[in-house]
Amino acid sequence: MKLYGSPASPYARKARVLIREKHIPCEFVVEDPWPADSRIPERNPLGKVPVLEIAPGSYLFESPLVVHYLDNLDGESIDPRDAAGYWQSQWWQALGNGIIDAVIARLLETRRPEDKQMPEKIAREEARVRRAVDLGEKTTKGGGFLVGERFTLADLVLGVALQYTDFRYAHDWRSRAPRLARWHAGITRRPSFEETLPPGFVKP
């Protein structure tokens, strides 16, 4: 199995963290989706990473599907099996994926020539992140894990999302969300996180 992605991509990083957590034999192939001659569109018509090659010439794309597939390979999903826990985890994952989407949309806007940037677009994306962090703080019970008593995809996705926020939209979200900050400090100490940090990431 091969995972195509770029080392800075938070979407690909979700899969990379999971591969380490579950010790899945899978080669990480670095492939940048942005250049005009990128070969990613041959594998994913949407032209985005991550892409998972599950058999020669057979590809899965869109990170929630890639993560779902990887997590169910061995019948030992790290997500809760009970319905309540499962949907709670899905809720946290939606929150985390939304934060990643907003941080990326903000980043792309800030990379446009200065005279073409839309400050209201940047503010709108920042407001999404702020509201998501505030709701996360309100919802978390304040322990070591977001759902139940063990590491689940909820911890994985929100952990990656907030570390990507630190990477690309560094700001003090911690003082508004102290319980989430404590949980995040614990989760990101896991080797799966430490070993997949984006290049150039400076810990806050």
Q: Does 63 bind ligand GSH (CB under 6 A)?
A: yes
Q: Does 11 bind ligand GSH (CB under 6 A)?
A: yes
Considering only the stretches 47-55, 115-123, 127-135, 177-185, report the one whose residues sit in contact with ligand GSH under the rule CB under 6 A: 47-55
Gap between the Cα atoms of 106 and 168, Å rounded: 9
Q: Please, what is the minimum distance in Å from the beta carbon of residue 52 to ligand GSH?
A: 10
Q: Please, what is the minimum distance in Å from the beta carbon of residue 164 to ligand GSH?
A: 9
Q: Does 47 bind ligand GSH (CB under 6 A)?
A: yes
Q: Determine which residue in the list 49, 60, 103, 154 makes contact with ligand GSH, applying CB under 6 A.
A: 49
Q: Which residues of 88-120 are buried (b: 16+ CB within 10 A; e: fewer)?
A: bbbebbebbbebbbbbbebeebeeeeeeeeeee
Cα dihedral 16, 22, 25, 29, rounded to 10, equals: 0
Gap between the Cα atoms of 173 and 180, Å rounded: 9
Q: For residue 82, what are the CA distances in angstroms to 79, 88, 93, 94? A: 9, 10, 16, 18
In the chain, the amino acid numbered 20 is R
Gap between the Cα atoms of 175 and 168, Å rounded: 18
Q: Does 148 bind ligand GSH (CB under 6 A)?
A: no
Owner of token pair 């010439």 = 57
Q: Residue 70 is encoded by which pair of tokens?
A: 């990887």
Q: Determine which residue in the list 33, 80, 136, 159 makes contact with ligand GSH, applying CB under 6 A.
A: 33
Q: Does 32 bind ligand GSH (CB under 6 A)?
A: no
* Nearest one of 182, 173, 167 to 10, comparing CA atoms: 167
Q: Does 109 bind ligand GSH (CB under 6 A)?
A: no
Considering only the stretches 48-56, 124-132, 152-160, 194-202, report the one whose residues sit in contact with ligand GSH under the rule CB under 6 A: 48-56
Q: Determine which residue in the list 3, 4, 9, 166 makes contact with ligand GSH, applying CB under 6 A.
A: 9
Q: Does 92 bind ligand GSH (CB under 6 A)?
A: no
Q: Determine which residue in the list 1, 22, 53, 62 makes contact with ligand GSH, applying CB under 6 A.
A: 62
The binding site for ligand GSH (CB under 6 A) comprises 9, 11, 33-34, 47-50, 62-63
